[in-house]
Amino acid sequence: MSIGLAPPAHVAPLEVHAPRSPWADAWRRLRRNRAALLSAAFLLLVGAVAVAAPWLPFVHDPAAQDLATGAAPPSAAHWFGTDDLGRDLFSRVLFGGRISLLVGLVGTAVSLVVGVAWGAVAGYAGGRTDELMMRVVDVLDALPYLFLVILLLVFFARSLALLFIALGLVQWLTMARIVRGQVRSLKGQSFVEAARALGASGARVVFRHLVPNTLGPVIVFATLTVPTVILQEAFLSFLGLGVQPPAASWGTLVSDGARVLAIFPWLVVSPGLALSLTLLALNFLGDGLRDALDPRDRRDVA
């Protein structure tokens, strides 16, 4: 007859936890970063208000002029004041935010499409193809890219679509390098060999198996690219090469206000503050995502 031995009463049973995905770990780490969460909430609020601006009851027509009023300081009727043509500055800041954010998002999307495709193909192909493709990146990176954007806008018809494309096409070089490095480190992994053994084509291996595994660094860099593109658009608008009237962006509003800064300072304060806070929030969010998606940080979060 066998005698069963019961475990001591003070020994707790072992708990088995289901493994968490890397994305779940990243979300738990991101939730600890209050600056990143507050920045994300601020950006969502700014984006929602900018998108809904045409339907908000307290927003005026940004192009409506009141020459009798002229430039007036902030008041109950005009929260941010009016410009020299009597246009409501609060409404113009909201509508300008629509264009600035759109320029940042579309320009970043263009850079992602070009940079991810170029870097993934170069990293997977290797050899002379990789060398040739990356030498092209090096040559383009040595050129003054903002000067190239200015040339494009000077020699071709100035339009919002051209501005999107021009800013996006000068931002993809760093993205290509990042994706190439990730792909080179992943293409020898077992899941890639398994895909090849199952008869997957090179394009399928690259875009179905390798590119999705580079999304962490891609997302982080994209978040940090958006404020760069917005700032470049603001600089071009300050030079008169960005968004063209009657449309306005935060950059054009700052440029217009800077001309009469000594007389009407409120014309610079509100668009400048909106631009600065948005750029700061995007950088905080990018830093938070970088820390959350860092594979070297695997500390458990309660």
pLDDT tens by residue, 32-75: 878 888 988 999 998 898 888 888 888 887 877 877 777 788 88
**Radius of gyration over every alpha carbon of the chain, rounded to an integer in angstroms:** 26
Rounded to whole angstroms, the Cα distance separating 157 from 289 reads 38
Tokens 């040739």 correspond to: 132
Rounded to whole angstroms, the Cα distance separating 100 from 79 reads 21
The residue among 178, 290, 164, 179 whose CA lies nearest residue 224 is: 290
Q: pLDDT band for 8, please (50, 70, 90 cuts).
A: low
As a whole number, mean pLDDT of residues 194-221 equals: 81
Q: Please, what is the average pLDDT of the chain?
A: 80
pTM of the model: 0.77
Residues 6+ apart with CB under 8 A from 15: none
Let me know if 95 is exposed, middle or buried by CB neighbors in 10 A (0-12, 13-18, 19+). buried
- pLDDT over 50 (residue 100): yes
pLDDT score, position 44: 92
Let me know if 235 is exposed, middle or buried by CB neighbors in 10 A (0-12, 13-18, 19+). middle
Rounded to whole angstroms, the Cα distance separating 52 from 43 reads 14
pLDDT score, position 45: 92
* DSSP H helical ranges for the chain: 22-32, 34-51, 89-125, 127-142, 145-155, 160-169, 172-186, 190-197, 202-204, 215-238, 250-259, 266-292
- pLDDT over 70 (residue 4): no
Rounded to whole angstroms, the Cα distance separating 230 from 250 reads 9
Go through the domains of the chain in sequence order and give each one's CATH number: 22-53+82-292 (1.10.3720.10)
Rounded to whole angstroms, the Cα distance separating 224 from 279 reads 9
- pLDDT over 70 (residue 11): no
- pLDDT over 70 (residue 284): yes
Let me know if 194 is exposed, middle or buried by CB neighbors in 10 A (0-12, 13-18, 19+). exposed
Distance, first Cα to last Cα, the chain = 46
Q: pLDDT band for 245, please (50, 70, 90 cuts).
A: confident
The answer to which of 36-45, 146-155, 203-212 has the lowest mean pLDDT is 146-155
